[in-house]
Structure 1
């Protein structure tokens, strides 16, 4: 944990923008209203071809800006952004997040009290704040096959927000839509994996940090509203490709054990999912899964080198909080479980 005092600590909220003037117009005013007393606000432009930067200069000169010149993707874009933004804590914030109350100081307070290196607030839907949001909800978990799921969302089933979601608890991964990370932890593990481009990069970061002995949390008593799908819609074959490719890469990089065995099992489950897509007439999604597997094979030599390096850096005493040793696929699609709280998860006593 950083030794910087609370009074001297610098906090920067960093929004990575790509052709997102519409989102900036809609959501940035709420960010500024509830953030500037506790943090700087930066908009880092990822090679936009719209007039985002000109609009910011004319309408919000209080926002600090940085132009990267081209689209580096979400992961590498943030790596380059945070290299230039000097702060003790960075908050990676999606451009389609609405802030409704003071949020930075309360999240940092819980992080300090619990000793967390990374955290996110509770994510609720912008269109209906009474419902958990897909991209994180009340914190993320991981099952034995590398399928991430959330407290408050199992696959497409989202839950109404209640007191259970509003607890502060330790989790496996925190949402990249509003991700608080201490600079010391970020630097220790080398930031995000730029080769992922986008999707699951925050899960990979949290997994590497947990393996190195860090702790991850969700501050459920603080909520932000997320639109979701601001860059890639759920129906996008490219999004399907990234999710399936990155899921395999992240699991092989970080999971302990015999990687050929769990990778083969996971790829078999991917194949079942792909043929289900084909049976529903989603042939572009079907092809995207096949393309993802091909890209995984091409990336495998690099991924295995990363795996070997990470094994040397990992802590042998690290406790993986938020890891479920059963199958969320079986629980949801076969047993009909629609809520994470009904999975009888082994919630950490440290929370």
Structure 2
């Protein structure tokens, strides 16, 4: 069994691969594997012709982030101790991957760890996806050190530490292979977005911890596959957040949280409409409808620690309240 592998899931991302694979192959310690999610562009040809040192896994169609990674990692099962999941639109620095794996080797209770994720297009700022480590508030809303909603901080070395977090970003995270499979991998109902938060929640309920390591840095383009303002992304984010809560909370706790979330999400839909974003408003309503259609397929996790929000490093009850009412725009203000 080899120690680790960097696994990049690709779907019609030939330009991103052409731009960023050179830095990944140059500055990484571990072998790179590209799992192609049934691309119709020249992605496969690019890998075969220009990156012969990279192992290519070809999937027959687009199974989304969740299904694509599940299928690719199932093919690699038993071959590696650690998987390093990496988006195709990320630039890395020397030994970024080695630092993540060494952290997991030295901290046996840790199941996953993410690096500092900075913005590639907005140099000097944190990236939207993951930033300086992810958290969940008491209503299930995710936020990050370095990014709360649309407020993104400059990197002034304020998060160069190593801490325990609620979730690690799917844009770049190292995870123990055996724990990933024991947790059942990603929930394929999600397709894309928030699946890593759900996975980390399940892993934490198994008794492991999730971490952030600030001495490892990567730079993320973001929105390469789906723009943040796309109504389809709005739909996925709202629906998948409800799926995550339904799967991981007890029935009574979910019922209580859902009543509040339903009111807040309706308010969010109204705000979208008032701002002229009618499709986003419809996406929120559609998210609730679709959640009720598929929630019966949920299999609540039955791991050895039966708690709702497992002892979180974060103590924020409502990030919405802190951000919009109290005006606390950065993590250090909370």
- TM-score category (smaller protein): over 0.9
Shift of 1:319: 4.7
| C-alpha RMSD over aligned residues | 1.4
Aligned residue number for residue 102 of structure 2: 109
Aligned residue number for residue 274 of structure 1: 269
Q: Tell me the SS of whatever aligns to 2:8.
A: strand
Pairs aligned (count): 329
Distance in 1, Cα, partners of 2:319 & 2:30: 38
After alignment, is 50-59 or 101-110 more displaced?
101-110
Question: What TM-score results when the alignment is normalised by the length of structure 1?
Answer: 0.91
> Alignment partner for residue 49 of structure 2, among 46, 58, 62?
58
Q: Tell me the SS of whatever aligns to 1:337.
A: coil
Contact 1:74 1:197 in 2 (8 A): yes
Contact 1:142 1:324 in 2 (8 A): no
> Alignment partner for residue 144 of structure 2, among 138, 145, 150?
150
Unaligned runs of 5+ in 2: none
Distance in 1, Cα, partners of 2:213 & 2:162: 5
Question: What TM-score results when the alignment is normalised by the length of structure 2?
Answer: 0.95
Shift of 1:162: 2.4
Q: Deviations over 1:141-173 (max 9, x none)?
A: 000111000011010001111232111111000
Distance in 2, Cα, partners of 1:217 & 1:124: 17
1:203-242 matches, within 5 Å, as 203-242=197-236
Distance in 2, Cα, partners of 1:45 & 1:300: 29
> Alignment partner for residue 59 of structure 2, among 59, 62, 68?
68
Q: Deviations over 1:110-159 (max 9, x none)?
A: 22223311011010001233111100001000001110000110100011
> Alignment partner for residue 333 of structure 2, among 312, 318, 342?
342
Shift of 1:321: 2.6
Distance in 2, Cα, partners of 1:78 & 1:339: 32
Structure 1 runs (4+) greater than 6 angstroms displaced: none
State yes or no: 1:194 paired with 2:185: no
Distance in 2, Cα, partners of 1:322 & 1:172: 7
Aligned residue number for residue 257 of structure 2: 262
Aligned residue number for residue 44 of structure 1: 35
